[in-house]
Amino acid sequence: MRVGFIGMGKMGLPMAANILKAGHTLIVHDIDQGAASSLLEQGATWADTPREVAEASEVVMTSLPGPTEVEAVALGHDGILSGIQEGAIYADMSTGSATILRHIHARFEARKAFVLDAPVSGGIIGAEQGTLAVMVGGSQEAYERAKPLFETIGKGVTHVGEIGTGTVAKLVHNAISMTTRIVVQEGLVLAVKAGVDPNTMLEVLLNASFGKQLILTNHIPEIIFTGDFDHPRFSLSLSHKDVGLALDLAKELDVPMALIEMADQRIQEGMDRGWGDQDNMVTVRLQEEAAGVEVRVNEARS
């Protein structure tokens, strides 16, 4: 397949290299030609503009710093749109804006070309090893055609839904991931100040439900997706007690716990609603009410 790749940064370069290693014809572009030198030595072809990349490619991929750069490369002077072929695919691998990708999609659709938003997760090591998670939004037809390319750079390729949904999934994943990391940091610091060896605390986390990721494998599909809050695995009232005791310990030791205090406030809201005897996941109802949407599926996942 003739593949164009624009953006030879820390993520783009190894992704493009894996596409080239897989035997595809590669056309590359970057604001700095030197950034692509290793690929050019391996047989890739240089293009002076994004337009030239698009003119020579069946699929054009970009890995760029953010939404501003994506929009400029896709729609700007000598951009991808000006050279895209009918039936060709533009897949943006950056982490950006679902709104902008939908705007770009509309412009490309008028040219009878396809757009996929396909942000990745897994960092530089994942990009080098070809083990990235790839979250793809766009038409099923375009996804199926581009999937072999995605599989050269990632081991976890998911078609999330229509255009923009890949970006939504990536942003939600990163927001959850980073917030969880900060909560873990708060708790780990408290444990150490209270006299627990950090390696031992890590072992406890790994062996308990948090480390086993039960929230993902059990609690979300079996409780939130079904709305089964009336059969508690661990009640909200017990969660209220335990988090409160942890915060009491933090106050004794003068350890700030900003995010855990916010979680305690949310738990208290649920208690005030009379949900103490329900499963602690019932607090999702507060978020659902605020957003005007329910997180349910028609059938429980097996």
Q: Of these residues, 10, 21, 155, 170, which one is catalytic?
A: 170
Length of the chain: 302
What the block records as the tokens of 248 is 């009491």
* Fold (topology level) of 208-291: N-(1-d-carboxylethyl)-l-norvaline Dehydrogenase; domain 2 (1.10.1040)
pTM here is 0.89
What pLDDT, in 10s, does the model give residues 255-265?
999 999 999 99
**3-state secondary structure at position 31:** coil
Note if 10 is an active site residue: no
What pLDDT, in 10s, does the model give residues 122-161?
999 999 999 999 999 999 999 999 999 999 999 999 999 9
- Which secondary-structure segment (H or E) carries 271? helix 258-272
CATH 1.10.1040.10: which residues of the chain? 208-291
CATH 3.40.50.720: which residues of the chain? 2-169
CB burial of 194-203 (b: ≥16 within 10 Å; e: otherwise) equals: eeeeeeebee
CA atoms within 13 A on the CB side of 187: 17
Q: What is the pLDDT along the chain (302 residues), one digit of tens a residue?
A: 999 999 999 999 999 999 999 999 999 999 999 999 999 999 999 999 999 999 999 999 999 999 999 999 999 999 999 999 999 999 999 999 999 999 999 999 999 999 999 999 999 999 999 999 999 999 999 999 999 999 999 999 999 999 999 999 999 999 999 999 999 999 999 999 999 999 999 999 999 988 889 999 999 999 999 999 999 999 999 999 999 999 999 999 999 999 999 999 999 999 999 999 999 999 999 999 999 999 999 764 44
CATH superfamily of 2-169: NAD(P)-binding Rossmann-like Domain (3.40.50.720)
Return d(Cα 22, Cα 41) in angstroms, integer.
16
